[in-house]
Structure 1
């Protein structure tokens, strides 16, 4: 089975997540077509037989290129097994209302695009302190303090649950082939 693993990324964690998804697909004996949606390129084969799309949440939205791709490809995505990995730091919040908010961020994208993913996974992202400029690092550090998240700005901090992500991919592949 050929599976499109499409992603949009802002700071690189979603690209890393999509790479792990593609590696899991390949390890299961299927072919993964890793595709950077923001590149605007066309994938080189006819539509794959399934899709797993990954996108980060920033300011309560997904990147514009990702949303545009989903709207454009909704008909095809609905015709094959498809999954969505929504990447957000809020999903790891210690506050229930923030975790609940993160669970509902995809609602607007799904409503607007008409895409109905067969499965959905919420993955925590990362704090990329070493990549932020001074002002962004300062703001993110202050926000991290409120969340009891790491505030050591000399290094990055990953929160992605790789085991849960791998289990999600395995469940998706079972469903898609089943």
Structure 2
């Protein structure tokens, strides 16, 4: 059986939820889903596909992603690799913010990372005000008010376009 490793860096769990959706679409693959922050001694050569998903918080990807890339750079370069970024800016699909070409976060990632994934996706995340601590709730509300987003802190809003996630998963499945 073919194997895929699905790695994630997530704060509230939306990136992991997106990976679970991708896993459902990868028929014929045995998938191992692992938290990027808790991976140690991982042998990527055991897998036919490597999928990494990471979320943006306050404009940045977690440093653990870059550490993982540095530690596994040769293996990543020798593997079929896929990367996606989850952020709230990607909710602006009409402005192209949900594409690798239109995402400032992807541009920054590609300029900082020595690893260049074969396929890149950008997905809108979820706004989970009630789950945030007081500081995060305040800061995220401020950012959302400046960018025309939801500011009602009693709400949870999922912006993820699941059809787009499915199309990304199909690219992974069809890649040889």
> C-alpha displacement at 1:87, in angstroms?
0.8
Q: For this pair of structures, how many residues does the alignment match?
A: 174
Q: Which residue matches 1:9?
A: 10
In the alignment, does 2:102 pair up with 1:70?
no
- Structure 2: gaps spanning 5 or more residues: none
Aligned to 2:61, what secondary structure does the other structure show? coil
- Structure 1: gaps spanning 5 or more residues: none
Higher helix share: 1
Q: Distance in 2 between matches of 1:116 and 1:4?
A: 17
> C-alpha displacement at 1:48, in angstroms?
1.0
Q: Spell out, residue by residue over 1:58-102, the C-alpha distance to the aligned partner (whole angstroms, 9 max, x if none).
A: 233211111111121122112121110111111223894966896
Q: Distance in 2 between matches of 1:99 and 1:30?
A: 27
Aligned to 1:163, what secondary structure does the other structure show? helix
Do the aligned partners of residues 127 and 91 (structure 1) sit closer, same or farther apart at CA in structure 2, a change above 3 Å counting? same
> C-alpha displacement at 1:143, in angstroms?
2.2
Q: Which residue matches 1:131?
A: 131
Higher strand share: 2
In the alignment, does 2:23 pair up with 1:19?
no
Q: Spell out, residue by residue over 1:90-120, the C-alpha distance to the aligned partner (whole angstroms, 9 max, x if none).
A: 1223894966896232344334432121100
The TM-score, its normalising length taken from structure 1, stands at 0.85
> 1:1-178 residue pairs with structure 2 within 5 A?
1-25=2-26, 28-43=27-42, 47-93=46-92, 96=95, 103-176=103-176
Do the aligned partners of residues 76 and 107 (structure 1) sit closer, same or farther apart at CA in structure 2, a change above 3 Å counting? farther
> C-alpha displacement at 1:139, in angstroms?
2.4
